[in-house]
Chain A
Amino acid sequence: MARSDVQLMLDVKSGDEQSFELLLHRYRSPLVNFLYRMVRNREQAEDLAQEVFLRVYRAREDYVPSAKFTTWLFRIATNLALNNVRDTRHQRMEVSLDAPLTADSEDGDERPIDVADQHPDIEQHLVEQARSKMIRHAIEKLPEKQRAAVLLHKYQELDYNEIAKILECSESALKSLLFRAYEALRVELAPLVAQHAKP
């Protein structure tokens, strides 16, 4: 039977390095994806995710399982991401103004289209790519805290209670935050939402 996160962390605390490896294996992908969607830069996201694991390791001796492990883990990640977004805001604005409209070098998930490869579904691929880009940009346009709330709610599937602790707000304030975020996304993605929401 798989050991719980808390048990693994307690084992790390008592000197079991292998348990840290298991935590790394369990959470590297969720963390990198969360941070990538927060900071929009793969390299920075990986650096921040490494920093999260390092902080977890450093804190092993003082670890007390007072909350869920994921709450603690994503609290560290969210704080690092919010700091990074604030610190690099000016830099990102410059990059975004200078960036060519047709290329998005930051998007590791976006493969450049080779027109010469005569892809039979190239039109379909272009449509999907434009759609994906629109969704990403809609998320990117959200204020940082709303973005973090949406990402934690949608992709990490954390409880409202957990997300509220991570973002240091009340559960009621979190629900209001999420409602505003979904409202903004609904407006921003109106053409796509209209297609989906047809009765």
Chain B
Amino acid sequence: MSCGRMENKILSYVDGRLKESERLEMDKHLATCAACELRVNEFRAVSSLLDELPVIAPSPAFDVRVRARVAAEPVKQSWWAWFAPSPRVAMAGALLALLIVWVGVRPSGLNPATEAEINQNMPVLENYDVLSNFEPLTDLPAPVADEPQDDASQSNQQM
């Protein structure tokens, strides 16, 4: 193994993550190359120094804050949730269906004979409605009473 090929394997060697065959190859190279052996020792030293860094503990409020943020998340409703049975929706649907059925089957309040009579008289009622509201007719003088006139003519003839 050349020194150039060490670069990609030196850390794996220090970590003990090399395959057995690769490790043996490295051992063989290190036995004959003082520079690479020194580098390996220095990398081991760096790794050991990194172990000295203290570990910090999360603050006691950390979990509480995470839980609060999670609890504040809006509840996501999936599209399929629309099909899930909901008591409120079921109740509303049932009431609506009952209302439709009731409107469809309830009696109208008039018997068939009365309804037929109304239908028969409908043109007369319509004409009456038109004539009673016909504006030009309101300008006409009031009709003269017939009966008193007849009585007067009869008395003239007797005389």
Contacts and interface: CB of A to CB of B under 8 A. Distances in A.
A179 B49 contact: no
Contacts of A139: 50, 53
A82 to B, nearest CB: 20
A15 to B, nearest CB: 11
A108 interface: yes
Interface in B73-119: 73, 76, 78
A199 B48 CA distance: 15
Q: Chain B at the A interface: mostly helix, strand, loop or mixed?
A: helix
Interface residues of A, number: 45
Nearest to A150: B50
B43 A186 contact: yes
A69 interface: no
A131 B62 CA distance: 29
A194 to B, nearest CB: 8
B7 interface: yes
B30 interface: no
Nearest to A54: B69
Given A182-B46, A199-B41, A54 B73 contact: yes
Contact of A179 (B7, B41, B56, B78): B7
B42 A186 contact: yes
Range, interface on chain B: 35 or more
A20 B63 CA distance: 11
B49 A192 contact: yes
Given A179-B7, A179-B8, A109 B54 contact: yes
A132 B54 contact: yes
B38 interface: yes
Given A24-B63, A176-B7, A179-B8, A132 B52 contact: yes
A172 to B, nearest CB: 7
A46 B7 CA distance: 36
B83 to A, nearest CB: 17
Given A49-B62, A50-B62, A53-B66, A135 B45 contact: no
Contact of A46 (B17, B47, B53, B58): B58
Contact of B58 (A29, A37, A186, A199): A29
B11 A182 contact: yes
B44 interface: yes
B31 interface: no
A182 B48 contact: no
B139 to A, nearest CB: 82
A158 B73 CA distance: 31
B65 interface: yes
Contacts of A155: 50
A70 interface: no
A59 B36 CA distance: 47
Nearest to B58: A32
Interface of B: 7-12, 17, 38, 41-50, 52-59, 62-63, 65-66, 69-70, 73, 76, 78
10 contacts: A29-B57, A29-B58, A33-B56, A46-B58, A109-B56, A154-B47, A160-B17, A176-B8, A193-B49, A197-B38
Counting from the closest, the 8 A-B pairs by CB-CB distance are: A196-B45, A197-B41, A197-B45, A109-B54, A193-B45, A175-B8, A32-B58, A185-B46
